[in-house]
Amino acid sequence: MCATPGLPRAGTRLREIFLTELKLKNGKAAVIVGAQWGDEGKGKIVDVLSENFSVVARYAGGHNAGHTVIINSKKFILQLVPCGVLRGGCRSVIGNGVVLDPMAFLKEVGALRDAGVKVDGNIFVSNRAQVILPYHRMIELAAENAPGRVKIGTTSRGIGPAYEDKMGRRGLRVADLLDLQLLRKHIENAVHEKNMIAHALFNSEPLDADKMYAEYAQAAERVAPFVCDTAVLLNQALRNGEAILFEGAQGTMLDIDHGTYPFVTSSSATSGGAVIGTGVAPNAIDSVIGITKAYCTRVGEGPFPSEERNEAGERLRARGNEYGAVTGRPRRTGWLDLPLLRYAGMINGISWLVVTKLDVLDELAEIPVCVGYKIDGKKTMEIPPQASGYEKIECIYQKLPGWKTSTEGITRFDKLPKPARDYLAFLAKQAGAKIGMVSTGPDRDHTIVMEEFVGTLKTAVPGRG
C-alpha cells in the first residue's frame, strides 16, 4: 500500500480509529423474514427466539399482518405490536417503516394490558411512522370493489393508500399526529381532497373532518406515551451490546419490489426493509432467518405455481387450519416450491431456515415437492417478473417418502421419523441454507431448536440468551 503525505500509515492511527468504530457495534442483530407469501408462522418463531434478544422491532406493514402466538394453550393474535411483548424484559419497537392505525394500536394494547401483559414502558412507537386515517380505508375499499379493477385481495384496512400518501409526501406521521394544530389542518385538507376523489371515482359517501379530528385528537393523547425516536433507541441498544431481532411482516413474495407484482403488499417485506424501516445501518445486521412452511400457502389473489385446487389442497387446509389470523379468509394451499424458496434465499441473504407446520404432513404416504419450473417446455431457473409469466409455469415435481406417524410436539431432531429428517435435509440442501428450527405444533414448546443455531444467537446481554 502506498503512503500518502499528510496521512498516517496503515497500521497506526487509521487502524486505531477503525478498531474503535468496530467496538461501537457490540450488539447482535438478526432479521426474521417470511420466505413465501406470508403466514409462515413468524409470530410463534419470533416469540420463541425473543428469549435471546433484548429488543424485537417491527419494520414494515400495518395491521393487515396477523401473528398468532399460543402459550400454554392461550392464544394471542398480534397485528401491530411485535411478538417480543410476550417475553418479560424484551422491549417491542414499531419502526418508522410501519403504517400505524392509532385506533387499531390502542385496541391491541388494551387487549394485551387486560391479558396481564406489560405494555406501559415496554412498547415504543416511532415518531416517524406514517398514520392510517379513515379516508385511507375509504379509498382502498372503494378501489378494490370498483368495476373493472384488478382485485389484489387486500384487507381493505388502508395500508396501500397510506403508503401512497407517504411516497407522495402528503402523509401524516406520528409526530404530526401529536401536534394538534397540524393534525386539524392536515385532516381538513386531506378529507376535502379525498372526499372529492372518492365521490368522483367511486361515488363514496363523504367523511366528516370535524368528527375525524375529534376522534384522532383523543387517540393522539393516548398514543403519545409510547412515542419516541426509535432509531435512536435501537442504535443505542446496539452500542450498549444488546441484541435486536427485526420482525418482518408478510413474506418475500409479497414484497413491493421483489414479489409477484402487482399481487403484493405495499412495503418492503424482505430483509432489506429492516434497515429502511428502523433506521439502523446495513452493517448492523448479523444474520437473516427465513421462515418457510413445510408446504406452501397464499392468501388473496395472485400467482401460486404449486397450488392444489383439489382434495389434497383441502386436506392441507384442514390439517393446517389455514385461515387468516386477521381476516379469517381461507388460505390457498399447495406443495413446497423450491424455486421460490431459493429466490427468497437469494433476495434476503438467508443463512438459516426455520421450517414450520411439519406435523401437517404427518398423514401423507408421499409428499410432492416442486423442484423446478418449465416455461414453454424449457427448464428455467428464473422467477418471472410479471404475474402473467407465472401462468406459463409447469412445475417439476419430485415425490419424497412420507412418514405416516405423528411428529406433533416433538422437541428433538433425533426423535423425528427418519423420512421426516430426510425431508428436512432435502429441503435444506435444495435451498442452500441450514435448518435452525423446526415447528412441530402450534404451542411455544412444540419446537425443535438446533444447537448450532442457538449458538449463533447467544449474546453477552445480562439475563438474556
Residue-wise burial string across 310-336, b where 16 or more C-beta atoms lie within 10 A, e elsewhere: eeebeebbebbebebbbbeeebbbbbb
Give the strand pairing for 287-293 and 29-34: parallel
39 catalytic, yes or no?
yes
Assign 3-class secondary structure to the chain: CCCCCCCCCCCCHHHHHHHHHHHHCCCCEEEEEECCCCCCCHHHHHHHHHHHCCEEEECCECCCCCEEEEECCEEEEECCCCHHHHCCCCEEEECCCEEECHHHHHHHHHHHHHCCCCCCCCEEEECCCEECCHHHHHHHHHHHCCCCCCCCCCCCCCHHHHHHHHHCCCCCEHHHHCCHHHHHHHHHHHHHHHHHHHHHHHCCCCCCHHHHHHHHHHHHHHHHHHEECHHHHHHHHHHCCCCEEEECCCCHHHCCCCCCCCCCCCCCCCCHHHHHCCCCCHHHCCEEEEEEECCEEECCCCCCCCECCCHHHHHHHHHHCCECCCCCCECEEECCEHHHHHHHHHHHCCCEEEEECHHHHCCCCEEEEEEEEEECCEEECCCCCCHHHHCCEEEEEEEEECCCCCCCCCCCHHHCCHHHHHHHHHHHHHHCCEEEEEECCCECCCEEECHHHHHHHCCCCCCCC
Selecting among 39, 47, 255, 337, the annotated active-site residue is 39
Please enumerate in sequence order all residues whose Cβ is within 8 A of that of 301, keeping only pairs 6 or more positions apart, or say none. Answer: 150, 151, 152, 153, 263
67 catalytic, yes or no?
yes
Q: How far is it, in rounded angstroms, from Cα 138 to Cα 157?
A: 9
> Sheet holding 378-380: strands in order across?
378-380, 366-375, 393-401
Selecting among 67, 186, 258, 446, the annotated active-site residue is 67
Single-letter code of the amino acid located at 424: L
The residues carrying an active-site annotation are 39, 67
